[in-house]
């Protein structure tokens, strides 16, 4: 007989991340963004002029999926794409001024969630928690 799932690390990891995801969705919804769109805005804010392929890799989704994300951000005039002068195929994405404002606002919301998350951990244990997540991540990628 299969036992109760509750004491499994994988199960609890899933639960925690699922709740976080819902929370982020709720926090970003008033801004008209979803977590994937936020991730792109934040990434382009930190490093402008990246290609669709670059952004996809950093966000851990496929280029095909990122295509859809970028298309919507372009429709919303938060991101613009230009032909790379040196390459005929590459298109470099960057934030519009409006996109920059939106990115900052979204980041504030996300940081608010992050603070709630960190408040659940003893201050001196946050680094341990970060290390734990990294170890779990590495173990699953091997």
- Point out which residues bind its own copies (CB under 8 A): 1-5, 7-10, 12-24, 42, 45-46, 60, 103-104, 107, 110, 113-114, 116-121, 125-126, 129-130, 132-142
Name which of 14 and 112 has its Cβ closer to DNA: 14
The radius of gyration of the chain's CA atoms, rounded to the nearest angstrom, is 18
Is there a contact between 110 and 124 (Cβ–Cβ < 8 Å)?
no
Q: Which does 101 bind (CB under 5 to 8 A by kind): DNA, its own copies, none?
A: none
Q: Is 54 exposed, middle or buried (0-12, 13-18, 19+ CB in 10 A)?
A: middle
Whose CA is closest to 32, among 62, 80, 77?
A: 77
Min dist CB 13 to its own copies, Å, is 5
Name which of 47 and 122 has its Cβ closer to DNA: 47
Binding of DNA at residue 51 (CB under 7 A)?
yes
Is there a contact between 40 and 59 (Cβ–Cβ < 8 Å)?
yes
Binding of DNA at residue 76 (CB under 7 A)?
no
Which x/- pattern over 103-132 shows residues binding DNA (rule: CB under 7 A)?
Answer: ------------------------------
Is the Cα dihedral 22, 24, 26, 29 positive or negative? negative
Binding of DNA at residue 89 (CB under 7 A)?
yes
- List of E strands, 49-131: 79-83, 91-95
Point out which residues bind DNA (CB under 7 A).
34-36, 51-54, 60-65, 67-70, 72, 86-91
């Amino acid at each position: 007989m299969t036992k109760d799932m509750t004491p499994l690390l994988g199960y609890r990891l899933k639960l925690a991340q699922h709740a976080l995801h819902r929370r982020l969705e709720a926090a970003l919804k008033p801004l008209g963004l979803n977590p994937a769109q936020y991730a792109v805005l934040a990434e382009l804010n930190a490093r402008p002029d990246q290609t669709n392929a670059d952004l996809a890799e950093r966000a851990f989704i496929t280029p095909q999926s990122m295509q859809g994300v970028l298309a919507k951000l372009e429709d919303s005039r938060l991101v613009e794409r230009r032909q790379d002068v040196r390459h005929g195929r590459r298109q470099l994405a960057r934030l519009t001024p409006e996109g920059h404002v939106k990115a900052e606002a979204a980041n504030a919301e996300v940081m608010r969630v992050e603070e709630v998350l960190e408040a659940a951990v003893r201050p001196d244990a946050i680094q341990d928690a970060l290390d734990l997540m990294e170890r779990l991540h590495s173990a699953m990628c091997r």
